[in-house]
Amino acid sequence: MTENNQTPFIEDNDQTRARREHLERIQQLTGNAYPNKFRRTNLTTSAEGEDTITSVVAQFKHHEPPRAEGQRPTPEQLEAANAALKAFGDVRVSGRLAVPPRVMGKAAFVHLSDGRERLQIYVRRDDVQQLNHRGRTLDGWELFSLLDHGDFIGVEGFLFVTKTGELSVHVREFEFLAKALLPMPDKMHGISDPEIRQRQRYADLIAGSLKIDRDEEGGAGQAHELTTREVFERRSKIIREMRAFLDERGYIEVETPMLTPIASGAAARPFKTHHNALDIDLYARIAPELYLKRLVVGGFERVYELNRNFRNEGISTRHNPEFTMLEFYCAYMDVNGMMDLCEEMIKRVVNTVCGGLQVQFNGRSIDFNNFKRLTMKQAIVSCLTIENSENPLTAEMLNDPAVVYGLEKRLLELEGEPYPLDIEQEGGSVNDQIRGRLNLINFNELAKTTISSPQLPDPEEIGRKIEFLFERIVEGYFIGRLEQPVFITDFPKPVSPLSKASPDDPSVAERFELYIAGMECANGFSELNDPVEQYERFREQGQARERGDEEAMQMDTDYVRALAYGMPPAAGIGIGIDRIVMLLTNRRSIRDVILFPHMRPAAPKVEEAAANETAESANEQAGGQGA
RNA sequence: GGGCCGAUAGCUCAGUCGGUAGAGCAAGUGGCUUUUAACCACUGGGUCGCAGGUUCGAGUCCUGCUCGGCUCACCA
């Protein structure tokens, strides 16, 4: 038996010991427990060009006689089905043992899985005792007895339907293909610990493919919960559909640098690294935006990139340090055209992937038929005037600096008041109470207040305050208003340094963000293409940075220079793919739609830690010798 | 970073008031040639996340720590 310290990645317990012993005996019996290939037949139509369990099930499952619950098919039905199946001849398929072998004396049933579908095989001792196994004759029944849940085998035999009516392969020959030295998860429960599911996605995927689901609750037409595999298959489909949508419209897909000397194009803290040969610091990109617009300058009228961005910020159910973004740019289009295009694209993707425009997410129904559009000021107002019809706040009133200042002051006062607030109110959380109090503000009074601020209202400051009010009131207390798809438009110019100002109102940018289920899913605008103004905006950002705003955008003089060659009017957008996938797979955490999400390293076990330490000191010694 | 919750056999989970560590599945042995969450009998399997403390005695109570989940804050 293998010493445990030679395989530190395998725990030593009764399960793994049994599997190792089986492996040794298989090795002796077959001469090679890890063969290089298995040839499958090609009776079915499949993309793979050979028979998979999925393709065999897809093509032959319909031969199973219709049977009522708990009823067995009649002998006549079986005879007809088996006669039909026999005509197809022998099939060779392979897969993982999806269950522990059910051995009944001198015959056995096992299910094989190819990761998607499962197919039952039937093995009789008398059929395989003289087994031709890769050129040598051996006792196939003995080999079969050494199989464990999770092993890979290839089988050859004829298709038939069992007495209970299940499509199966009656095995004549089989080959051992690979061993599972680690025990499989519980066949009924799978893996429930989210930590293991995310750290060891392979185990999660295996567990999903091996799990026996009795689909009892499928009666009311309820869409079943997607398996992990189905989530990622759907993710792939979403991305494929988006690419197709853009390709059809003449967009060119490009790849721009992931490692950049300046992390710009968004407001976020970057990851920093160092290039040794050039001896310069580089930053993992936080957005491809400025490179893509250089390409618009260069004559790519329609261009897109679908790839990863990296932001050195918090991790949450909606944030992963690396996330996938689709950005595309279209020359001669403005922000309104881009909203139309975005809406059209998302509708098509949703419809194709989910088979309709009503999608269940987190217990709510999202209606993708209807994308609303609200200016940022309208959105704020819509939260505050519901119960206050005699004293309505209007979007126009938010043009008055006194109202903006007064509202901010009142909001901060309300938030500063200790719990419980002094108004008489039965129950309700602090947030409920603040919501209630916000509705009771006398907006007409606010309009009459004088600004106590020493200096005259600075338009820049007002813009930031409006965004602050939006974030606090709409995104905070009234996030439910952003549940159905809604474009929030007319962002304040000071917080939108890459956007063109609105021709109607120089204080706002032609910019939008798309909110769905309270999540920010997309951000787009009419691209600022005046190099002089862009230079000034970057300088203002630089000043904000000096004032301590770590996230103010970095100046990129080469980008400004590119604009100086002339960029046509254009609109661009960034769409957060992970969040779209969350919406369309009904997953509440971004970690459930990213195969290998970032997590804090698990605490090493005692022996592992010791092993790592010796490895590290060995490395250090080697490094010291080299230097 | 704050709050709440969780970590017990390979997996899923019980474990009462502080008094010898439990079940199902999985594993091992035997039986069974159309089963299907196969079945029947027997057997083995534990650093109770880690480190301290209280106690005659800790899976259980206390403190600290690690990892995770939810949530708030942060984050265009």
| ipTM (interface pTM) | 0.93
The pLDDT of A176-205, averaged and rounded, is: 93
pLDDT of residue A455 exceeding 90: no
Residue A519 token pair: 């999540």
Q: How far apart are CA A309 and CA A301, in angstroms?
A: 23
Select from A9, A204, A212, A179 the least CA-distant residue to A96. A179
For residue A607, the model assigns a pLDDT of 45
Q: How far is the CA of A610 from the C1' of B55 (A)?
A: 34
Mean pLDDT over residues A173-178, rounded?
97
Two structure tokens written together for A63: 């031969």
Nucleotide in closest CA–C1' contact with A127: B33
Taking the CA of residue A178 and the C1' sugar atom of nucleotide B68, their distance in angstroms comes to: 33
Closest CA relative to residue A441, chosen from A505, A476, A398: A398
Q: What are phi and psi of A355, to 5 degrees?
A: 70, 25
Q: Which nucleotide has the shortest C1'-to-CA distance from A196?
A: B68
A455 CA, B66 C1': Å apart: 52
Rounded Cα distance, A467 and A478, in Å:
15
Torsional class of A48: left (φ above 0), alpha (ψ -120 to 50), beta (otherwise) = alpha
Spanning CA of A76 to C1' of B30, the rounded length in angstroms is: 38
For residue A71, what pLDDT band results from cuts at 50, 70 and 90? confident
- Distance, in Å, from the CA atom of A201 to the CA atom of A191, rounded to the nearest integer, reads 10
- Distance from CA(A315) to C1'(B1), angstroms, rounded: 13
Residue A433 has pLDDT above 90, yes or no: no
pLDDT, mean over chain A = 88
Quote the Cα angle for A452-A454-A455, to 5°.
120
Q: Which nucleotide is nearest to A513 (CA to C1')?
A: B76
Q: How confident is the model at residue A546 (pLDDT cuts 50, 70, 90)?
A: confident
- The two structure tokens encoding residue A545: 């940075």
Report the alpha-carbon distance of residue A576 to residue A591 in Å, rounded. Answer: 14
Angle at A91 between CA A86 and CA A94, to 5 degrees: 145
DSSP conformation class of A301: S
Of A91, A82, A107, A99, nearest in space to A156 by CA: A91
**Rounded distance, CA A219 to CA A590, Å?**
30
Which nucleotides of chain B does any protein CB come within 7 A of?
A: 6, 9-13, 24-28, 31-38, 44-45, 47, 49, 66-76
Q: Are strands A302-310 and A322-331 parallel, antiparallel or unpaired?
A: antiparallel
For the segment A40-53, the average pLDDT, to the nearest whole number, is: 96
Cα gap A454→A449, rounded to integer Å: 14
Orientation of helix A430-439 relative to helix A401-416, angle to 10°? 150
DSSP codes joined into one string, A535-577? HHHHHHHHHHHHTT-TTSPPP-HHHHHHHHT----EEEEEEEH
Mean pLDDT to the nearest integer, A333-357: 97
CA distances from A212 to A185, A208, A456, A501 (A): 11, 9, 70, 58
In this predicted structure, what is the pLDDT of residue A408? 84
Structure-block tokens of residue A33: 């427990």
Closest nucleotide to A109: CA versus each C1': B35
Residue A284 banded pLDDT, cuts 50, 70, 90? very high
Q: What is the pLDDT of residue A252?
A: 98
Only one residue has tokens 């694209």, namely: A345
Question: What's the pLDDT band for A419 if we cut at 50, 70, 90?
Answer: very low
Structure token pair of residue A137: 């004759």
| Measured CA A600 to C1' B58 distance, in angstroms | 31
* Residue–nucleotide distance: A34 CA to B9 C1' (Å): 30
Please state, for a pLDDT cut of 70, what percent of chain A lies above it: 86
From the CA of A607 to the C1' of B15: give the distance in Å.
30
Q: Round to whole Å and give the CA distance between A577 and A242.
A: 10
Nucleotide closest in space to A606 (CA vs C1')? B50
- pLDDT of residue A616 exceeding 50, the answer is no
Predicted local confidence at residue A480, as pLDDT: 85
Nearest nucleotide to the CA of A497, by C1', is B76
Q: Torsion angle, CA of A52/A57/A59/A63, rounded to 10 degrees?
A: 150
pTM: 0.91
SS3 A185: coil
Predicted confidence (pLDDT) at residue A610 exceeds the cutoff of 60: no
* Alpha-helical runs (H) found in A491-530: none
* A600 nearest nt, CA–C1': B67
Instruction: Please give the residue that has the higher pLDDT: either A616 or A235.
Output: A235
